[in-house]
Amino acid sequence: MQVKPFRGFRPRADLADRIPSVPYDVVNSEEARELAAGRPDSFLHVIKAEIDLEPGTDPHDDRVYEKARENLAAMIEDGRLVREEQPAYYVYRLVMDGREQTGIVAAAAVEDYREGRIKRHEFTRPDKEQDRIKLNQTLSANPGPVFLTYRPLPELNAVVNGIAAGEADVDFTAVDGVRHTLWVVSDAALCKRIEELFAAMPATYVADGHHRTAAAAKVAEERVKQLDSPTGDEPCNYFMAVHFPSDQIHVMDYNRVVKDLNGLTPQQLIERVEQAGFHVKPDHRAKRASNRETFGMYLDGRWFLLTAGADIVPKNDVVASLDVAVLTDRLLQPILGIGDPRTDKRIDFVGGIRGMEELERRVDSGECAVAFALWPTGLDEVMNVADADQVMPPKSTWFEPKLRSGMVVQTLEGDSL
């Protein structure tokens, strides 16, 4: 794997805890507007710039991208974001509920993504991909990192732990209780060692950020076409990524809500689910899935536990055997009439961090008719699917804690990475 240090922009020391924000895709425009209220330095003004325009503005309006460019430029021009004097790696540690994960922020090579060494496990949606392309091109920067993982490498862990034993450059606890700590690594010998260890790594895996990765590849392609004599080493040929060992990563459930019952009554839905090969147990007080091949279903004010029969779960297919695939293939599509989950407007996805209460709220409000709670997809399943060059159904994984945007910003122009 190819990685390089880069001259990132970071918040000025006194703003280290005020600029970084939640990523763009975990809040909607209204939630972002509320979070940024009274916080003019929040990076949400860059990654959700519609909050600085009139309420109801389409997030894909050209004015939003231009406003994002203006806001990022202002942060740089007035010194709120300061560029490193020399290329650096960054060790980034997050601690949530006593559980920590420590990774390396680096410029990852677009070539590794194109050649399949940075492995994906999901398809992207064209509209979301185009949104990231347009934002990165307008900003001439990668404003948020891609979350990559790799099978544990003891030698690399030793280097990371050694760096993290020193004094941190940034250390704060966000309002959600997650602690974020950053160490800047510009020592030449350490940088060389990190690069060598990554070079021996056979693959990394996109955990979170498929659209950002795909967009980075297309932005690089567009920019290289405009160069007279490209070298392959231009900043646009790399994208900002945080690499974490897989044994430190926590995957949560990623649940589903469906807006209607496809013409069925609640009782008819239950009957159809049973006919499809699921055992249905009413009054499921735990609400959540109890283990793999089980699903919580919230319908008509009640929770049910669905258990997939052994005969409907393929055993020798890395994708079809996934819980999310069983639910899609055996229930959502044939019974509720969901087409392509990536594009069907009748289905929505709710991250496990929002809890079962959010599923109940969506149904009880009448916004949706039924909700399904899934067992979290295992990281071993994610990597097995990627290694087989296959893809999971959309929204199969929800990772926590989330990486903050604005901790480091990588520009796509300049004299050096």
Measured CA to CA, the distance from residue 406 to residue 417 in angstroms comes to 17
Q: Tokens 């309002």 label which residue?
A: 175
Contacts for 192 with CB less than 8 Å, ≥ 6 apart: none
Q: Determine the average pLDDT of the residues in 152-162.
A: 96
Q: Which CATH architecture has domain 254-375?
A: 2-Layer Sandwich (3.30)
Band of pLDDT at residue 415, cut at 50, 70 and 90: very low
Q: Tokens 């309420």 label which residue?
A: 55
Q: Where are the alpha helices (DSSP H) in 88-153?
A: 110-114, 126-139
Contacts for 115 with CB less than 8 Å, ≥ 6 apart: none
Measured CA to CA, the distance from residue 93 to residue 181 in angstroms comes to 5
* pLDDT single digits (tens) 93-108: 999 999 999 999 999 9
How many alpha carbons fall within 13 Å on the CB side of residue 348? 13
Orientation of helix 154-164 relative to helix 188-199, angle to 10°: 150
* End-to-end alpha carbon distance in the chain: 17
Mean pLDDT of the chain: 95
CA 35: distance to chain centroid?
19
Nearest CA among 316, 313, 324 for reference residue 388: 316
* pLDDT single digits (tens) 2-47: 999 999 999 999 999 999 999 998 899 999 999 999 999 999 999 9
Contacts for 91 with CB less than 8 Å, ≥ 6 apart: 102, 103, 104, 105, 160, 163, 164, 182, 183, 185
pTM, rounded to two decimals: 0.89
Task: State the pLDDT at residue 414.
Answer: 61
Measured CA to CA, the distance from residue 24 to residue 118 in angstroms comes to 23
222's tokens: 């567009």
Span(s) in the chain for CATH 3.30.1760? 254-375
* pLDDT single digits (tens) 199-255: 999 999 999 999 999 999 999 999 998 888 888 888 999 999 999 999 999 999 999
**189: helix, strand or coil:** helix
One-character DSSP codes across 64-92: HHHHHHHHHHHHHHTTSEEE-SS-BEEEE
Nearest CA among 230, 234, 233, 242 for reference residue 150: 242
Length of the chain (residues): 417
Q: Report which secondary-structure segment, H or E, holds 258.
A: strand 254-258
61's tokens: 């309006």
pLDDT exceeds cutoff 70 at 404: yes
* pLDDT single digits (tens) 109-130: 999 999 999 999 988 888 889 9
Contacts for 138 with CB less than 8 Å, ≥ 6 apart: 65, 66, 68, 69
Measured CA to CA, the distance from residue 335 to residue 410 in angstroms comes to 46
Sign of the alpha-carbon torsion through 243, 405, 231, 4: negative
User: For the chain, what percent of residues have pLDDT higher than 70?
Assistant: 99
Task: State the pLDDT at residue 416.
Answer: 45
Measured CA to CA, the distance from residue 158 to residue 18 in angstroms comes to 31
